[in-house]
A and B are shown apart, each in its own frame.
Chain A
């Protein structure tokens, strides 16, 4: 399965890339494992995304998977289609 990750703002600056291309094999394509792989491959993201005990933790970032916010997914469910993952940087400092 093909996974395309788009980074914005400070995340793009940190990784020095706008788009990341990854893939996963059948059976591995579970959201929390995909994010494990993303963070392992790009440890610069660790301040913002972490996976602990099959749970994804985020600090300020929003993640949108195929146009739908990640919170609406079961992150243990097997993914059956190519993914476009948008990772939005934190928007803090105001009210």
Chain B
């Protein structure tokens, strides 16, 4: 995967975020990873609002989005991203604790690119993250506010 791609993790549980980060790195992903603890922060980052860090134009991003978050939840974030002409190019991978088929269906309808269940079984979790890594290594990640998609 292109190392320019920045992986954004929106996850209210620090532990989960850390586990994801660790396992991504363990499976060979060395890209920059930025963690946002709630929906508001990631929206601020992406829409360049508020005092926190903002995204840079011309960069490529990939978003790992937890559904259940306090305040603005993952679904709301997904909706807002997909409503924005430019941001909708960001691949969004939903990460959730349940495998509720209704929820999965809902997210796919809203335009998420993939869906990962956080399994309790750690081996399965690692496998899921590994697959995510594989996914990230083959997929084209477009630049946001850039001219061309990069490989």
Bound together: no
Listed in ascending order, the chain B residues whose CB lies under 8 Å from chain A are none
- By a beta-carbon cutoff of 8 Å, the part of chain A in contact with chain B is none
